[in-house]
Chains A and B, each alone.
Chain A
């Protein structure tokens, strides 16, 4: 599998799966290629047939995968960032008057930046709730609620600390108090079982190119109450072309223009891969790899590990005596080990854990091996010994 997947590449040890998974399952690559062999098909946009209606098939697959319904409430966007922007700005526009929003210190800039922009424009008042140890205490979010709180935007899984937040507890309380909850599931979709029939979220965001094994350029969200979000983009939908106002019905309410069909095809194939492999199998392997890697790191003197018991396959650490960017450069160029360094688009987490200096992040996928983990910790040990001498 490894030599087939890596092709003519020098052997890479790819530990940056929290950014984008690599390699992709062969079936995903094949589905993308297949999707381009015939003219793309979607009712209303062509008279052709004989191809797969990827948008419909993928909506059904995603709705079933997340135990969410109806499939028409699954909306495609370019990625999770695009989905979060659409939802956040759409909610503010729909609400119309300034109100209070709660978010957390664990958030990615795809949440922090839109909210900061809105705060600077005077459209919202923003509270950022700190995390405890590595995760959010639901009580802390509850305690931050004010009379005019209308929206909470929070991550499901931290891309730096690998913690999974108890969104069910948060969602139940917020739902009972008519506060809309947007959950950023970019790091958890495809990693852990998510049952949205049991979690009363306002909207759940996913991205295609991480643990769902799709290609970059596709993401989306499930929304329970579409009327909570204003329509912020208008255009062609393949239906009702005579009408100059954008259709309000789902899913086209939030989708305008031609879809990223190869992206949707990849998402469809990625979900099928996860189901056929077994999400529990994937979860267990990722957990074993992560545990093994952390055990290896712990044998190296002086390493700072910022999350020793992550629930997601993400390990953030620093090597004493060497800047994280420099260490990442050395691991990549001398050892062919790809990680990510710096602030990981989550600046507030790093202010708390490493004084804002950033760190090295290793993140695993189903396609990593225990031998790769060992090779990586051996390399990190060499870098640490060299830097310390």
Chain B
């Protein structure tokens, strides 16, 4: 688990971008509106709207494969469809490695 303090809070646009890659959940009725992003085997991100710090958890068994994933999400956000396509190609290559590891375990 890592806690990151970003230069600025994650934007609504970024959270919408995340919906392309996994499940985003919003709990708006709390003292601080909350969001989470979950991508099975890869990563989970938790935070509060307007708060620059986020908690990122990686799956222990695949941490070496997905350690850069959060930074890649930040990097390719803003590159539109091209960014989404590049990231999805990256994900597919990671999934192949995950499958090999799962088959051998």
Contacts and interface: CB of A to CB of B under 8 A. Distances in A.
A386 B27 contact: yes
Interface string B38-78: 00000000101001000100000000000000000000000
Contacts of A389: 29
Given A329-B46, A329-B55, A335 B31 contact: yes
B30 A383 contact: yes
A321 to B, nearest CB: 10
Nearest to A322: B27
B31 A334 contact: yes
A333 B27 contact: no
B36 A334 contact: no
Interface size band for A: 10 to 19
Contacts, number: 30
Interface residues of B, number: 12
A387 B29 CA distance: 9
B43 to A, nearest CB: 14
A208 to B, nearest CB: 28
Nearest to A387: B27
Contacts of B32: 333-334
Nearest to A379: B31
A379 B27 CA distance: 13
A382 interface: yes
A386 B36 CA distance: 13
A351 B32 CA distance: 33
A118 to B, nearest CB: 26
A286 to B, nearest CB: 27
Contacts of A382: 29-31
Given A329-B55, A334-B31, A334-B32, 12 more contacts: A330-B30, A330-B34, A333-B32, A334-B34, A334-B48, A335-B31, A382-B29, A382-B31, A383-B27, A383-B30, A386-B29, A386-B34
21 contacts: A326-B36, A326-B46, A329-B46, A329-B55, A330-B27, A330-B34, A333-B32, A333-B48, A334-B30, A334-B31, A334-B48, A379-B31, A382-B29, A382-B30, A383-B27, A383-B30, A386-B28, A386-B30, A386-B34, A387-B27, A389-B29
